[in-house]
Structure 1
Amino acid sequence: MTALVVIVLFSCKDNFSEVQQIGVLQNAPIGEADTINLKYTDSAKLTANLLSPKMMDYSNRPFSFSEFPEGIELIIYDKNNNKSTIFADYAIAYNETDLIDLQGNVLLATHKGDSLFAPQMYYDQKNEWVFTNQEVKLRSTANNIDGRGFDSDRDFKGFEILEMAGDIQIDN
């Protein structure tokens, strides 16, 4: 009995620091990548292209996501293969919802030459929909519109700006 007690006492070790590291490892990204060029296709047709200098993969989390801490360039192709580009200082792409959260100096440059500025914008990859409820500024050759809220499909044909103000030209 004495031998058993001695063996048990000497076999125990202090692993408190290892236990502390478990939470740190779960919060760390599972992978990091530099110079990202992801292409999204539908029926062998290019629909979007995501470019970023750095990506951090958090697919080890219950609600997995990819983080782009150094900014993002998202090129969206419409049905006629025209491209519009969204730039942002920071982005998070949520894997389960196919939603990309674009933040910081967001600029949407359409294939028509229009520019839309916002502090935050979302791109729903599944529904091919761009939207925000933040303040926006639309600058084009015909209009300078300030407003709050923006909704559009990937073609940017029937976009909508809520709470509009500014110089608006209306066609008959």
Structure 2
Amino acid sequence: MKNLFFFIIFLGITFLQVSCKEENHKKKIQLYEGPLSELDGINMTYSDSARLIVRMVTEKQLTMPNDDRVYPKEVKIFFYDRLGNETTNLRGDSARYFRSSNLYKVYRHVVINNTLKGETLKTDELIWNPDQKRVYTDKPVDVYTREEVLHGIGMDANQDFTQYTLRRVTGVVSVKNLPQ
């Protein structure tokens, strides 16, 4: 009887130890994947040799664990010439900065106004590469000038949008001074 009592206690302790070990194996640590910081009321400037080139304004910035920055609210970007005059402005519903490639991507309802030329460009996505000082997209683009409306799929431009090239262009183009 005494042996049976010790045997039952031994089995009970063994069972509890196995149960605890199984519970420990079931618990998995979940890594936090959300933002490391959240800033409100952003007014960021990008300059070169102490000369203002670009200014970005947005309500919120989230810094992610991989150092990417997410701008979940409307983003406004202003481009300036050598004298500090605004030449172009851009707005989009949201944006993201990709730290590993040093690229900014603006999303949804992207509108660019070139105040010098009186032109407006609309697209759903735009990528800015500050290293190459260029802006581009592979998405459909509509350009509204004082004289015409152009449509294309894809665009390449310098970062202040004073010069651009549309890819796969459609639309009516007016040509002046053609030889007769």
TM-score when normalising by structure 1: 0.81
Any runs of at least 4 consecutive aligned residues in structure 1 with deviations exceeding 4 A, and if so which? 12-19
In the TM superposition, what whole-angstrom CA distance separates every residue of 1:60-111 from its partner, at most 9, and x where no partner exists?
A: 22xx310011121111223353421111111101123221111100111112
RMSD (Å), alpha carbons: 2.3
Identity within the alignment, %: 22
Pairing partner for 1:92 from 85, 89, 96: 96
* Residues 1:77 and 2:83 are matched in the alignment: no
1:153 is aligned to 158
CA distance in 2 between partners of 1:146 and 1:126 (Å): 28
Q: Which runs of 5+ in 1 are unaligned?
A: 1-8
CA distance in 1 between partners of 2:26 and 2:79 (Å): 47
The 5-angstrom pairing of residues 38-49 of structure 1 reads 38-49=44-55
2:37 is aligned to 31
Name whichever of 78-87 and 37-46 sits farther off: 78-87
Pairing partner for 1:54 from 55, 60, 66: 60
Quick check: which has more Rg, 1 or 2?
A: 2
User: Contact between 2:128 and 2:159, CA under 8 Å: does it hold in 1?
Assistant: no
CA distance in 2 between partners of 1:18 and 1:49 (Å): 47
CA distance in 2 between partners of 1:116 and 1:18 (Å): 53
CA distance in 1 between partners of 2:72 and 2:27 (Å): 29
CA distance in 2 between partners of 1:15 and 1:114 (Å): 64
User: Contact between 1:143 and 1:168, CA under 8 Å: does it hold in 2?
Assistant: yes
User: Contact between 1:114 and 1:140, CA under 8 Å: does it hold in 2?
Assistant: yes
Q: CA deviation at 1:171?
A: 4.1
Letter in 2 for 1:93: Y
CA distance in 2 between partners of 1:18 and 1:36 (Å): 40
* Residues 1:121 and 2:99 are matched in the alignment: no
Q: Which runs of 5+ in 2 are unaligned?
A: 1-16
CA distance in 1 between partners of 2:112 and 2:25 (Å): 50
Letter in 1 for 2:153: R
